[in-house]
A and B are shown apart, each in its own frame.
Chain A
Amino acid sequence: MSGRIGMPSPWLLLGPMLVVVLAAVGYPVVTTIWLAFTDTRLMAGPGSAHWIGLENFAYVFTDADFLAAAGRTVYFTLVSVSAEALLGIAVALLLNQEFHGRTFCRALLVLPWALPTIVNALMWRLVYQPDFGVLNAVLSQTGLIGSYRSWLGVESSAMNAVILADVWKNYPLVALIVLAALQSAPAELYGAATLDGANAWHRFRVVTWPIIAPPLLVALVLRSIEALKVFDIFYVMTHGGPASATKTMSFFVYEESFRFMRVGSGASYALIVVLICMVFVGVYVRLLKRQEAS
C-alpha cells in the first residue's frame, strides 16, 4: 500500500530524460528535415530561407555525380563490412582456442579499434606513401611489384586502399562481439556434437553459428550504418580524389553544406543518406527475425 501512495507516475520519472533526448536528437532531426525543403544558405542564416518544396530532392536524383557517389558508398559498405565480418569471425574463432599468450593477443586485438579514425587514416597514408611508404618497400623487396607505386593517387587502387585501412581498424569490433558470444557457448554442446560424429565444419554450422549469428548481425548493422555515412577516413586519406574516385555520399553532404554553403540542399542529401541507411537496417532486421524464428 505505502509503495503506491506518493509513487510518481512513470512519465514524471522519464521526464528529464525525455527532455534531454528531444533536445539532443529531436531538434536536429526536425531542423534537418525542415532545411531539406528550403533554400537556406549557411552564412545568411535561417531567416533568409524560402520554402521550395521538393526542388532539392528533384536535383539530387538528376545529379549524376551524387548517384555515382552513392554507388561508390554502397561498394565501400558491402566490401568493407563483409571483409570485417569474415576476418572478425576467423580471428574470434582463433582467439577462442586455448593457447599460450591468448590474453596478450586479445588485448592486442582491441588496439586498432581504439585508435581514433583520424590517427588511423594518417597512419595508413604513411603506409601508402608512394616514395618511402612501408607498403611499397615490403612489396618490392619481396618481388611482388617491380617499382614503387602510387596507391592513393591512382583511381583503380585508391578506393580499395582506403577499404583496407578501414577493415584493419574495424574488424576487431566484430571479432570482440563474436568472441563474447563464443565464450558463452556451453562446452557440453561441442562435446555432444563430437560424440555424434560431427566434423569441424558441422560443429561450426550446427553449434557455433546459431550462437554467434544474432550478435554478429547486430555488429554488422552497426558497421553498415557507419560505413554508409563514412566521411573522416576519406577526408584525411584522399579528400575525395583522385578524379573523385573516393567521393562518398557524406563527402557530398559536407561539400554542399560547408564548402558551397547551401545547407538546404545539403540537408536533402543528408536525408537521402539516412533513407539508404534505413533500407540496409530493414534488411538486417528481417534477417534477424528469420534467424530467431528458425
Chain B
Amino acid sequence: MAALGAMSSASAETLNALFMAQAAYSDSDVKAMTAAFEKDNPGVTVNLEFVPYEALYDKIVASKAAGGAGYDVVLYDVIWPAAFAQNNVLVDVTDRLKGLDRSQIFDGAWATVDYDGKTYGMPWILDTKYLFYNTEMLKKAGIAAPPKTWEELAKDAKIIKDKGIVQYPIVWSWSQAEAVICDYVTIAAAYGGKFFDDGKPAFDKGGSLDALKYMVQTLKDGVSNPNSKEYLEEDVRKVFSAGDAAFALNWTYMYGKANDPAESKVVGKVGVEPAPGVEGKTAASAVNGSMALGITAGSSKVDLAWKYIAYLTSKPVQDKYAQLSLPIWKASYTDPAVTKGQEPLVQSADVAIGLMTPRPMVASYQELSTILQTQIQNALAGKATPEDALAAAAKDAARIR
C-alpha cells in the first residue's frame, strides 16, 4: 500500500505557482511555457495564479504568514529579497547554481536574486524603463533626433505642445504606487542622486532633489500629462498607443504591444531610446526593474519547483518568448532569431542594462517606498515644494522602526 501511494505521488504531482498579470510576459505566454513543461514532465500539473503587480507582495507575505504551504513557485520583484531573506520566505538555492557560469547572465539580473552572499532564485525578467517616442510627431515638429538629456526632452515636448501636435507630450506612471518610484529613481540616477549616504537618507538633496524638481516643473509647464498622477504603466501604454503622447517612460513590454495592430494606433511609429541623461553628469539612465522566480520555504516539492524554474529561465524558452521580455542571457542579444523585428529595442537595451540603478536593498523597503510615494505625490499635487516634500520623507524614513 505504502509503495503504491509513493508511486502515485511520483507520477502525479502538482505545483502551485504565483505570477503577475501585467507587463513583461503575458498570461498566455506563461500558460504556453507551462504547458510545454507539463508535456515534457508527464504527470506534473502546474496550477497558475495571476495577480496584478500591486497584489504580488501581499500574496507572498500572506501565504508565508499562513504557514507557507500555499505556493511552491513565486515571481518576485528586485526590491524584496532583503525582506524575504531576513524572514526566511524563500529557499536558498546557492548550491544548485554551482554548475552555472554566472557571467552568462547580466549582473543586473543577478541583483534580483542575490542578498548577503546567497542566491534566492533565478532571475527571469530583465527589465528597465526606456524612453519611447512617437517618430511621426517628432518629425512633424521638426525634431531631428530623440532627446539625449532630460532638459532636451522637456524642450522638445514644449515645441510639440506649442505646435499643437498633442496637448500633453509626455506621459508617466506617477500614481501613488511603486510605479512613481521607478520613474523617480530613473531621473534621479541621471542627475547623480543618491538614496542613502552613510546609512542616512540622502534623497532630499543633490541629484535626487533635482529629479523631483524636474518632475514638478514639467507638470507646471504643461508638457507632462497631468493625469500621470493617477496612471500605472498600463495606462501609460494605452495613452501612448492611442497616439495621445509624444514621449513615454515605460518597461520593455510596451515596445511589442505598441507595435501590435490589435492594441495600438501607432504601429510602426514607435521609437525607443535609453532613458535620457543629464549634461555633464550622465549619458543615459536606467532603473533596475528586474524580477525573479523563487521557491517558497514552505514548499514540499523543492526539486520539482526548481526543475520548473530552470525550465522557464532557460535560454531556449526565453529566446522563444522574447517579444515582451528580453532574455537574461547575454548570448541572446546577438542571436538574430531573438533580435529580429525589435532591433531598436535591443540596441537601447545594450546601453540601458549596463546602467541599471537599484532601488535601496533594505528590509523595510516597502515602508520607505510608501513614504516616498506619498511625499512625491504631495509635491506633484502642489501641496508641498519638492524641498519640503523630500525633507519630510527623509524625516519619516529616519523613523522607520
Which residues of chain A have a CB within 8 Å of any CB of chain B? Answer: 41-45, 130-132, 150, 152-155, 238-244, 255, 258-263
Contact (Cβ within 8 A) A243 B374: yes
Complex Cα distance A73/B230, Å? Answer: 21
Contact (Cβ within 8 A) A242 B370: no
The 23 listed contacts between A and B (C-beta, < 8 Å) are A41-B87, A42-B61, A42-B64, A43-B87, A43-B89, A44-B87, A131-B242, A150-B227, A153-B226, A153-B230, A153-B231, A238-B230, A239-B54, A239-B177, A241-B229, A242-B176, A242-B230, A242-B380, A244-B378, A255-B370, A258-B58, A258-B62, A260-B367
Complex Cα distance A159/B228, Å? Answer: 18
Contact (Cβ within 8 A) A259 B367: yes
For B266, what are the chain A residues with a Cβ–Cβ distance below 8 Å? Answer: none
Contact (Cβ within 8 A) B175 A241: yes
Contact (Cβ within 8 A) A131 B239: yes
Write the nearest CB–CB distance from B52 to chain A, whole angstroms.
10
Given contacts A241-B176, A243-B176, A243-B380, contact A153 B370 (CB under 8 A): no
For B227, what are the chain A residues with a Cβ–Cβ distance below 8 Å? Answer: 130-131, 150, 153
Given contacts A42-B65, A155-B383, contact A244 B374 (CB under 8 A): yes
Chain B: which residue is nearest A125 at the CB level?
A: B230
Chain A: which residue is nearest B396 at the CB level?
A: A65
Report the number of A-B residue pairs with Cβ-Cβ less than 8 Å: 87
Complex Cα distance A44/B54, Å? Answer: 23
For A260, what are the chain B residues with a Cβ–Cβ distance below 8 Å? Answer: 364, 366-367, 370
Given contacts A243-B176, A243-B381, A259-B366, contact A152 B65 (CB under 8 A): no
Count chain A CB atoms within 10 A of each CB in B65, B88, B401 and give the residue with the most: B65
B377 at the interface (CB under 8 A from A): yes
B230, B367, B378: the one contacting A150 at CB < 8 Å is: B230
Number of residues on chain B facing chain A (CB within 8 A): 36
Write the nearest CB–CB distance from B64 to chain A, whole angstroms.
5
For B54, what are the chain A residues with a Cβ–Cβ distance below 8 Å? Answer: 239
Complex Cα distance A44/B88, Å? Answer: 9
Complex Cα distance A154/B230, Å? Answer: 8
Contact (Cβ within 8 A) B244 A43: no
- Chain B residues 204-222 with CB under 8 Å of chain A are none
B311 at the interface (CB under 8 A from A): no
A132, A150, A239: the one contacting B176 at CB < 8 Å is: A239
How would you classify the secondary structure of chain A's contact residues: helix, strand, loop or mixed?
A: loop
For B88, what are the chain A residues with a Cβ–Cβ distance below 8 Å? Answer: 43
B37 at the interface (CB under 8 A from A): no
Contact (Cβ within 8 A) B381 A242: yes
B333 at the interface (CB under 8 A from A): no
Write the nearest CB–CB distance from B219 to chain A, whole angstroms.
11
Chain B: which residue is nearest A39 at the CB level?
A: B401
Top 7 closest pairs, chain A to chain B, by CB: A241-B176, A153-B230, A43-B87, A243-B377, A130-B227, A153-B229, A243-B381
Given A239-B176, A243-B383, 5 more A-B residue pairs with CB atoms under 8 Å apart are: A241-B229, A241-B230, A242-B176, A244-B377, A244-B378
A130, A241, A259: the one contacting B57 at CB < 8 Å is: A259
Contact (Cβ within 8 A) A261 B229: no
For B374, what are the chain A residues with a Cβ–Cβ distance below 8 Å? Answer: 243-244
Contact (Cβ within 8 A) B87 A155: no
Write the nearest CB–CB distance from A269 to chain B, whole angstroms.
14
Complex Cα distance A280/B71, Å? Answer: 41
Write the nearest CB–CB distance from B336 to chain A, whole angstroms.
38
Count chain A CB atoms within 10 A of each CB in B88, B242, B373, B381 and give the residue with the most: B381
Complex Cα distance A155/B382, Å? Answer: 10
Chain A: which residue is nearest B363 at the CB level?
A: A261
For A242, what are the chain B residues with a Cβ–Cβ distance below 8 Å? Answer: 175-176, 229-230, 377, 380-381
Chain B: which residue is nearest A254 at the CB level?
A: B58
For A41, what are the chain B residues with a Cβ–Cβ distance below 8 Å? Answer: 87
Complex Cα distance A41/B227, Å? Answer: 37
- Chain B residues 380-401 with CB under 8 Å of chain A are 380-381, 383, 401
Instruction: Mark each residue of chain B from 341 to 377: 1 if its CB lies under 8 Å from any CB of chain A, else 0.
Output: 0000000000000000000000010110010011001
For B176, what are the chain A residues with a Cβ–Cβ distance below 8 Å? Answer: 238-244
Given contacts A153-B229, A153-B230, A260-B364, contact A241 B58 (CB under 8 A): no
- Chain B residues 17-76 with CB under 8 Å of chain A are 54, 57-58, 61-62, 64-65
Complex Cα distance A45/B88, Å? Answer: 11
Complex Cα distance A152/B176, Å? Answer: 11
Complex Cα distance A132/B83, Å? Answer: 40
Complex Cα distance A122/B143, Å? Answer: 39
B61, B175, B228, B373: the one contacting A258 at CB < 8 Å is: B61
For B175, what are the chain A residues with a Cβ–Cβ distance below 8 Å? Answer: 153, 239, 241-242
Instruction: Mark each residue of chain B from 152 to 194: 1 if its CB lies under 8 Å from any CB of chain A, else 0.
Output: 0000000000000000000000011100000000000000000
Contact (Cβ within 8 A) B370 A43: no
For B226, what are the chain A residues with a Cβ–Cβ distance below 8 Å? Answer: 150, 153
For A154, what are the chain B residues with a Cβ–Cβ distance below 8 Å? Answer: 229, 381
Chain B: which residue is nearest A132 at the CB level?
A: B242
Complex Cα distance A239/B378, Å? Answer: 15
Chain A: which residue is nearest B229 at the CB level?
A: A153
Complex Cα distance A150/B230, Å? Answer: 8
For A155, what are the chain B residues with a Cβ–Cβ distance below 8 Å? Answer: 381, 383
Complex Cα distance A76/B68, Å? Answer: 37
Write the nearest CB–CB distance from A42 to chain B, whole angstroms.
5
Given contacts A155-B383, A243-B374, A244-B176, contact A259 B230 (CB under 8 A): no
Chain B: which residue is nearest A263 at the CB level?
A: B65
For A262, what are the chain B residues with a Cβ–Cβ distance below 8 Å? Answer: 401
A44, A240, A243: the one contacting B378 at CB < 8 Å is: A243
Complex Cα distance A42/B370, Å? Answer: 18
Given contacts A43-B64, A44-B87, contact A259 B58 (CB under 8 A): yes
Write the nearest CB–CB distance from A135 to chain B, whole angstroms.
14
Write the nearest CB–CB distance from A149 to chain B, whole angstroms.
9
Chain A: which residue is nearest B87 at the CB level?
A: A43
For A132, what are the chain B residues with a Cβ–Cβ distance below 8 Å? Answer: 242
Complex Cα distance A131/B225, Å? Answer: 11
Chain B: which residue is nearest A155 at the CB level?
A: B381
Write the nearest CB–CB distance from B42 to chain A, whole angstroms.
36
For B89, what are the chain A residues with a Cβ–Cβ distance below 8 Å? Answer: 43
Write the nearest CB–CB distance from B222 to chain A, whole angstroms.
12
